[in-house]
Amino acid sequence: MAAASLPPAAPVTLSAEVRLGYVLKHFRLAYPDCPDVRIGYADAQPQVEIAAGSGDFFAGNTPYPAAPNWREWLGRQVPFFFDDAPSTPLLLFQENKVIIAADIIAAAFYLLSGWQEYFSTERDRHRRFPYAASVQKQYDFVTLPVVNYYFDVLKTAVEYVSGRPLRPRRWGQQQANFAAFISHDIDNLRSAWKAPTKAAFQQRQFGLFGKLLWQHFTQPDAWDNLEDVAAATAQYGARSTFFILPTHGRASDGTPNADYPHSIQLLQRLHKLSEAGCEINLHGSIGTALDEWQLGYENGLLERVGLSGGLRFHYLRWDARRTFAVLSESDFVFDSTLCFAEHFGFRHSYCLPFYPFDFTSERATDFLEIPLNVMDATLHHPNYLRLAPEEILPALTPVFAEIKRFGGVASVLWHNENFDPNNTQTGPRQFHEIMRHLQQQGAAFQTGREIWEAYTAEPAAPTHNS
């Protein structure tokens, strides 16, 4: 399979009001106690005035804006796109009014909406938008949640005109500073024996080869470990969210789906895990990101175990031009597919859940995206990063610190096969290091459904300032 190229997408006609509304919706979700302050461009005579800087960019179909201007904020160098006045101070405080010199609404819309993915014609061999084609890669900011920094600028302005401090979202009963979402894609339950048995044969260690074959036929596979995975996560007071792949064998393009058949016994085990507080969701097989019928059929196969309404696509397959239409025909309430497979961090430069923008219907989606920040396979894989085991937690610590700073969700995917003690690169030891760190940092461990419920709970009515 080679990298693919798409035809250019036709331009869309998005008004500045639509972009502003989309961004402010997310700002108010990030700061739920935000008072009712008027924020906008000069023509609306707002209290927080944004300098318009996007020109006719959003009337076109180019994937990338002009290079950003870098400004310091909260001690970080932050890229500001659509910043027409680089030598002007970012904030101009007037009586009862603040002017923001960079168009942070346009820049936040650009990153959060996924504009670059929709208009880019580049796709990798799995037909995903490649990290190599992203502005995050081009300007090296994939580990910085830039939209949260823009929101912090906006928060400072709102605090000035309202005279009230704003507090980021809090999570769970303990009102924690951030949440952690621990999930497991179940691609393999039966293949732990394959690699060591093949290696023993190739190295002509026939005694070992025979022993491994005997074990394979007489003992459960080391990857058939769903209950052990749930127990490992439970050590931290967390509950696992599982994504189950009900399609077995290879897809028509040769990509493997599950190595295990869909069976009554598996459904019974999943039902027990669900009763014990774990969460069971669909891991959509190859092709389901383009096919609402197949997606609905697969979800139906799991229905009796008590599903939680979540979804992640196998191989993180996602078509930025078609998957929204597929999901709009379905009942999923949240998805957790969106990350760069090639690098940990923030694909939409945002560390909270968000509603992706559907450019075909020109509105925010109904389902909530809980973006993925860390996938085990990214950390040590010949195609991605090649971190040594002791480099993993130090590499991730700054990412978790950014998430904590802004009240976000640290979303970690650890496949069940990587709980095999024979995996010393991205295995149980590295998983436990990450979990201990998140616990020490005070994360509220939440399942996908709990995050969705907290995010969609009726907000308190905005308080008017006098």
Query: Which residues of the shown chain bind Zn ion in the complex (CB under 5 A)?
Result: 185, 187, 314
In the complex, minimum distance from the CB of residue 258 to Zn ion, in angstroms, rounded to a whole number: 8
Strand 368-369 with 179-186, pairing? unpaired
In the complex, minimum distance from the CB of residue 283 to Zn ion, in angstroms, rounded to a whole number: 5
For Zn ion, the closer of residues 26 and 314 by Cβ is 314
Task: Report the interhelical angle of 428-440 vs 392-405 (nearest 10°).
Answer: 30
In the complex, minimum distance from the CB of residue 354 to Zn ion, in angstroms, rounded to a whole number: 23
For Zn ion, the closer of residues 71 and 126 by Cβ is 126
For Zn ion, the closer of residues 200 and 370 by Cβ is 370
Q: How many Å apart are CA 247 and CA 244, to the nearest integer?
A: 9
For Zn ion, the closer of residues 160 and 243 by Cβ is 243
For Zn ion, the closer of residues 187 and 298 by Cβ is 187
* DSSP code of residue 386: B
Strand 241-244 with 334-335, pairing? unpaired
Nearest to 89 by CA among 136, 153, 143: 153
* DSSP code of residue 28: H
Task: Look at the block and give the residue holding tokens 């937690």.
Answer: 393
Q: How many Å apart are CA 400 and CA 157, to the nearest integer?
A: 26
Q: How many Å apart are CA 268 and CA 411, to the nearest integer?
A: 27
* Terminal alpha carbon distance of the chain: 62
In the complex, minimum distance from the CB of residue 417 to Zn ion, in angstroms, rounded to a whole number: 10
Torsion angle defined by CA atoms of residues 65, 70, 72 and 74, in that order, rounded to the nearest 10 degrees = 40
Strand 69-73 with 39-40, pairing? unpaired
Contact 186, 266 (CB under 8 A): no
For Zn ion, the closer of residues 51 and 186 by Cβ is 186
In the complex, minimum distance from the CB of residue 241 to Zn ion, in angstroms, rounded to a whole number: 14
In the complex, minimum distance from the CB of residue 226 to Zn ion, in angstroms, rounded to a whole number: 15
For Zn ion, the closer of residues 20 and 282 by Cβ is 282
Q: What is the secondary structure of 220-266 as a DSSP string? A: --TT--HHHHHHHHHTTT---EEEE---BSB-TTS-B-BSS---HHH
For Zn ion, the closer of residues 103 and 417 by Cβ is 417
In the complex, minimum distance from the CB of residue 247 to Zn ion, in angstroms, rounded to a whole number: 11
387, containing H or E segment: none
Q: What are the backbone dihedrals phi and psi of residue 328, each rounded to the nearest 5 degrees, phi first? A: -70, -20
For Zn ion, the closer of residues 113 and 308 by Cβ is 308
Contact 112, 357 (CB under 8 A): yes
Amino acid type, 238: A
Tally helices (H) and strands (E) across the chain. Answer: 15, 19
In the complex, minimum distance from the CB of residue 416 to Zn ion, in angstroms, rounded to a whole number: 11
Contact 355, 152 (CB under 8 A): no
Residues 6 or more apart in contact with residue 401 via CB below 8 angstroms: 441
For Zn ion, the closer of residues 173 and 252 by Cβ is 252
